[in-house]
Chain A
Amino acid sequence: MSNTILRMEDVTMQFGGVVAVNNLSLEVNEGEIVALIGPNGAGKTTAFNCITGVYEPTNGQIFYRDEILVANYPQGKMKKLYAGENAGKYTKVVKRTPDEITRMGIARTFQNIRLFSSLTALENVLISQHLHINSGMFSATLLSQLPFIKSKARKEEEHMYKRAVELLAEVGLEQYKNEVSGSLPYGIQRRLEIARALATNPNLLLLDEPAAGMNPQETRVLTEFIVEIKDRYKLSIFMIEHHMDVVMSISDRIYVLDFGKLIAHGTREEVQNNQRVIDAYLGVAEDA
């Protein structure tokens, strides 16, 4: 009996005249690997951005376990678009900032790698531990660094450092720890970005096209890596991916998006044989 770790209900994201995500509802259960696929521009990253608080959806609710991440009801000009059963469904408006959401247990990577490029790999991973810090600015500045004084702040700093080095070793990146992250090879950068997300101690990991730009060999290594970290860190994984080999080999369930709308959902076989999915990717023939 698995619990739902993420649930989106009727989420719509509208930018001016463009509806990027249209009435999207989906679920991720604990311990699953769920994939979100669809042609380019289908609204997948936008959906991620709604979950992580970067965008505030025009309508809908998103739940993490039992807590609301965001809940919006259509306001002002948007109201007439939702005339009908969904109009005014939610009376609460809840908004959280991305950092709050991360602190609740959701971490992510980005489509175009967003490492702290002039900082070292170690610093990147250290930064992700800052959110759990207990020392205030004064203790962290003074107490943790003055020599000969063993304070709580100092212990915390040492612990963060140790954890960062450990984590880098666990993902196989320890030799890069003092390298400037922006100068690392592409594949390593992608893995580092995942490591950085892991350092926030998440329960749900959102991966945005983790295999982008990789050759088949690298993709295979990444696929194994994803399963490995899921098991080792007890994660649930929700990923956007275009590499069908990755999607098909490890996803428990797949959601398919096209033009912002959900057009299919199910297991690998179900989705693979779904005509609508095939049409969306290949396009429909001119003459029927």
Chain B
Amino acid sequence: MKQKRYLLYSLLLAALIIAALIAIDNSSLKSSMLSTILQKGVIYALLAVSMNLLNGFTGLFSLGQAGFMLLGAYTYAILTIPVEARSAVYQYFDGGLVQFSVPVAVGIIAAGLVAAIFAFLIGLPVLRLKSDYLAIATLGFAEIIRALIQWNTLGPITNGSNILRKFPTFSSILFPFAVSAVSIGLIVLLIRSSYGRAFKAIREDEIAAEAMGINLAKHKMMAFCTSSFFAGVGGAMLAMFQQSVQAKYFTSAMTYEILLIVVIGGIGSVTGSIISSFLFVACSEWWLRFLDAEHYIGNFKVPLLRAGFRMVVFSIVIMVIVLFYRRGIMGTNEFSWQAIERFFKNLFGRKAMIKEREGGGVE
């Protein structure tokens, strides 16, 4: 019975969100800061959850996210630029090698697949390394991928170090939400399945997991490829959001940002990653912006406030969380209707509970 009630709650919530998004889309808010933040936030939410799957749930400390995002973004862009636009975009490469274009949906799925294929190839040698070495090896591969894409010889495909643009972008704010929601939903289902439990076992104790019959190489590869697939999808969406892509921006700094988002939300909590993504984007794009501008109180110029201060404050906040609130916002907990119901029961049911206890018999 509980299950049915919770399902109802979830459907209602989903309907509410969709309604709100449609409203934003059709109103003056369409190009507003709020819309930007919602779109960027939901894309980062997918990126954070996919990273969490690998780092938080399987315990594989990988820093290669930016590389897979880059592969996804470029795959999408390369495949979906309309044929007429190619000579303009690939101006230094005679219009480029790829002379067809695919629908958006195909482009996004291809983005994920290409990322997953690279993950498979990279994972073969790398996944058996110890955690610190895995981190550096994946970081290294991300850098190699970035260099490869910018290589002039591959220019006919990737446009070398030039910008890729003119590919299809979002027509409505619902699009990124839909893609993210489906992707995150799939990841959650995976985590809840027997394979997800196997991933958690690997995180808890590799040796015990192996002793209980879990093939480490196979399952680590599964987690790695799945996580990279969705990183690729996220990368494609990032490309659509920004409306242009250039390899040089997909540096390790981007991976660090996502890692920090995961840590803030709670390693091992999907809900935490989602919440923290929106918070992160809101703070860095919007709320803390005031820290970057010079402010005056009367004739007195407030010290410290100028361009770049926002990132400093932000970095300090992150350090505080890493040092003192290591479990992040949600720890390893997830959103549950049960917890919310209990919260409200406690709030309004106090009196009833006290009466019960006083009048109640021996336990």
Contact = CB atoms under 8 A, between A and B. Distances in A.
Direct contact of A and B (CB under 8 A): yes
Interface of A: 52, 54, 97-100, 102-103, 107-108, 110, 114-119, 123, 126-133, 135, 137, 140-142, 144-145, 147, 157, 160, 196-197, 199-200
Contact of B211 (A108, A119, A133, A140): A108
B144 interface: no
| Most chain B CB neighbours (cut-off 10 Å) among A103, A141, A145, A196 | A141
| Interface SS of B by simple majority | helix
Contact of A133 (B194, B207, B222, B332): B194
A116 to B, nearest CB: 4
B31 to A, nearest CB: 37
Contacts of B197: 119, 123, 126-127, 130
B84 interface: no
Contact of A140 (B195, B208, B213, B216): B195
Given A54-B207, A114-B205, A116-B205, A157 B214 contact: no
B200 A123 contact: yes
A21 B60 CA distance: 33
Contact of A116 (B208, B210, B215): B208
B215 A126 contact: no
Interface string B234-269: 000000000000000000000000000000000000
A118 B207 contact: no
A140 B193 contact: yes
B195 A110 contact: no
Q: 10 shortest A-B CB distances, which residue pairs?
A: A131-B213, A116-B204, A114-B208, A102-B213, A140-B193, A98-B210, A141-B190, A128-B212, A127-B201, A99-B215
Given A137-B222, A145-B189, A126 B208 contact: no
B192 interface: yes
A194 B216 CA distance: 22
Interface in B167-194: 186, 189-190, 192-194
A130 B219 CA distance: 11
A147 B194 CA distance: 17
B71 interface: no
A130 B189 contact: no
A97 B211 contact: no
Given A97-B215, A102-B213, A141 B195 contact: yes
B211 A98 contact: yes
Nearest to B215: A99
B215 A142 contact: no
B193 A119 contact: no
B204 A102 contact: no
A140 B211 CA distance: 22
Contacts of B212: 99, 102, 107, 127-128, 130-131, 196-197, 199-200
Interface of B: 7, 186, 189-190, 192-195, 197-198, 200-201, 204-205, 207-216, 222, 226, 332
9 contacts: A102-B210, A102-B213, A116-B204, A127-B197, A127-B209, A133-B194, A137-B190, A140-B190, A147-B7
Contact of B214 (A54, A127, A137, A145): A127
Given A97-B210, A98-B211, A116-B205, A140 B194 contact: yes
Nearest to A103: B213
Contacts of A197: 212
Contacts of B208: 110, 114-116
Nearest to A206: B211
Contacts of B213: 99, 102-103, 128, 130-132, 200
Contact of B194 (A54, A108, A118, A160): A160
Given A114-B205, A117-B204, A118-B204, A130 B195 contact: yes
Nearest to A135: B194
Nearest to A52: B211
B210 A99 contact: yes
Contacts of A160: 194
Contacts of B193: 137, 140-141, 144-145, 157
Nearest to A144: B193
Contacts of A145: 189, 192-193
Contacts of B222: 137
A272 B88 CA distance: 90
A184 B193 CA distance: 25
| Most chain A CB neighbours (cut-off 10 Å) among B194, B214, B222 | B194
Given A52-B211, A131-B212, A133-B194, A141 B186 contact: yes
Nearest to B212: A128
A105 to B, nearest CB: 10
